[in-house]
Structure 1
Amino acid sequence: MSGVIHVSAAVIVSTDGRALVVRKHGATVFQQPGGKPDPGESAMDAVIREIAEETGIRAAAEDLVPLGRFEAAAANEPGHRVIADAFVLRVSEARADASAEIAELRWITEHEVASTPLAPLSRTHLIGFAWSGSAA
């Protein structure tokens, strides 16, 4: 039986309509910033911490809009599934710095999604929230 990995993830969107995706060291695909909650840490607290660690973007709970829980094949752990508690964060500037385990980050437009190598969770469930009106 495959393993299950629980994470918190953020769809970060700038006012100019670009979405932030990150690529971790050793990975070939991009995904939303986020990661595994520490023991006893809520999904909200985990995503706030992970956004700051990975991108330098500081967010508060009131800045995040919950999207729900989503599941897909894990991008970097063969035979595993990832279950993500996801949130939207809208930021005024498309500025971030790759840090922690992040090798590269990109701000992409809706038109660049098809040509960007994305993790299954991002492509199937999350990236579209960047341009939908459902998480204003």
Structure 2
Amino acid sequence: MKPNNYITIAVGVVINKQDELLTVQKNGSSYYQLPGGKIEGEERPVDSLIRELNEELHILLKEQHCKLLGVHEAQAVNEAGKTVRGYVFQCEFVDQFEQIEPHAELREIRWVKKTEIEEVKLANLLKQFALPIWMEN
């Protein structure tokens, strides 16, 4: 696939104290996905994730709160013909996550329980890569 068919993003897996997974829904999308977004220029993936969480959720994470789980590719759900290359991080749950609200391009925030995962329309990167990791723990 040509490089311009790729969208490179950094996203975070955040689990709260009730073992619920943080998902977000962007404006104009019917899919729930992991919080995060596109990597800009020469930005390091972890720096992109920290910036995006600040912009979209007003969460101030530090690099030590984020651990890379892996890099995975999946078909983009919001941009036809594109492939998402996602740097997926496990983010430490910090108290700020308890009071989050959607900002920037986010429409909704949803904490998902393992028992209701089948009811939620998930983006491919979340469904194919992050979900199996969460379900095993």
Residue number among 63, 75, 83 corresponding to 1:61 in the alignment: 63
Identity %: 29
Q: Within 5 Å, which residues of 2 pair with 1:31-110? A: 31-93=33-95, 94-110=98-114
SS in 1 for 2:52: helix
Following superposition, the deviation at residue 11 of structure 1 comes to: 0.7
TM superposition outliers: structure 1 runs of 4+ over 6 Å = none
Structure 1 alignment gaps of length 5 or more: none
For residues 110 and 44 of structure 2, the distance between their equivalents in structure 1, rounded to whole angstroms, comes to: 27
Paired positions, count:
133
Q: Which amino acid aligns with 1:95?
A: Q
Cα 1:90–1:54 change in 2 (3 A) is same
Cα 1:98–1:46 change in 2 (3 A) is same
- Check whether the contact 1:14–1:90 (CA below 8 A) recurs between aligned residues: no
- Per the normalisation by structure 1, the TM-score is 0.90
Structure 2 alignment gaps of length 5 or more: none
Match of 1:22? Answer: 24
Following superposition, the deviation at residue 92 of structure 1 comes to: 4.5
SS in 1 for 2:86: strand
For residues 117 and 47 of structure 2, the distance between their equivalents in structure 1, rounded to whole angstroms, comes to: 28
Following superposition, the deviation at residue 100 of structure 1 comes to: 0.6
For residues 58 and 131 of structure 1, the distance between their equivalents in structure 2, rounded to whole angstroms, comes to: 27
Q: Which amino acid aligns with 2:58?
A: G
For residues 49 and 92 of structure 1, the distance between their equivalents in structure 2, rounded to whole angstroms, comes to: 16
- Per the normalisation by structure 2, the TM-score is 0.90
Taking only aligned residues, the RMSD between alpha carbons, in angstroms, comes to 1.5
